[in-house]
Structure 1
């Protein structure tokens, strides 16, 4: 008789435990706000006649500061220029008179921080 009650108790506990389901509710975190840093998305350095022209567009959180360009021919600095950019204007264009062909570089800085270097190779100086 004790054996009977033991078998019935085992069957009932197995039936009750076997019918249990685990409920899993995944924890969904709150979305994080994405704030991208200030960056130059479009920039070109090209020759137009005797002038070198840099066009640049700044995207990101613009608080209002100067976008500057530093011109180089090889290692020699040719000049500097800057434009004030704010929330209303994100693009700037710079020009430098440079009639001779050389390897030119233009460094773009925003608020004193270097963001991009543009190269224009017109002569093969690596030989």
Structure 2
């Protein structure tokens, strides 16, 4: 009789384990949404169409800021090689996204103009008339 009870216990245990296995096989991940939420992307503004040209003894930088940006000052810092020559700024907003800067520079040089908006450097344009 004890033999039959032990055998019955094993059969029931195996059967119960089999039922549990079948129940677990039907589980699915429920925390992943069927349609994910749209991702909101905020692109930083960028300077496009920037150019540095010489006209006689005057250097001119023209730049346009594209993208969404808060109204701020577009600042230019002028360099000849590593020597700082000066700086200037223009207030830009969505209605006025372009700026023109000029610098008197009668001598040829290795000129660079670094453009920044709201303290973040966005672009550098160069005009090398001599070796830097």
Find the residue that maps to 1:89 and give its secondary structure.
coil
Residues of 1 paired with 2:79 and 2:131: CA distance?
16
In the other structure, the counterpart of 2:80 is 73
Indicate the larger mover: 33-42 or 97-106: 33-42
Whether contact under 8 Å (2:51, 2:61) holds in the other structure is: yes
Q: CA RMSD in A?
A: 1.6
Residues of 2 paired with 1:114 and 1:96: CA distance?
20
In the other structure, the counterpart of 1:16 is none
Q: 1:30 Cα deviation (Å)?
A: 4.2
1:23-46 Cα deviation digits (max 9, x unpaired): xxxx44344333211111221111
List gaps (5 residues or longer) in structure 1: 1-26
**TM-score normalised to structure 1 length:** 0.72
List gaps (5 residues or longer) in structure 2: 1-33
Q: 1:48 Cα deviation (Å)?
A: 1.1
- What are the within-5 Å matches in structure 2 for residues 1-127 of structure 1? 27-125=34-132
Structure 1 residue runs of 4 or more that deviate by more than 3 Å after TM superposition? 27-31
Residues of 2 paired with 1:62 and 1:113: CA distance?
12
Residues of 1 paired with 2:95 and 2:55: CA distance?
28
Which structure is higher in helix share?
2
Residues of 2 paired with 1:113 and 1:36: CA distance?
14
Residues paired across the two proteins, number = 100
**TM-score normalised to structure 2 length:** 0.70
Whether contact under 8 Å (2:44, 2:69) holds in the other structure is: no
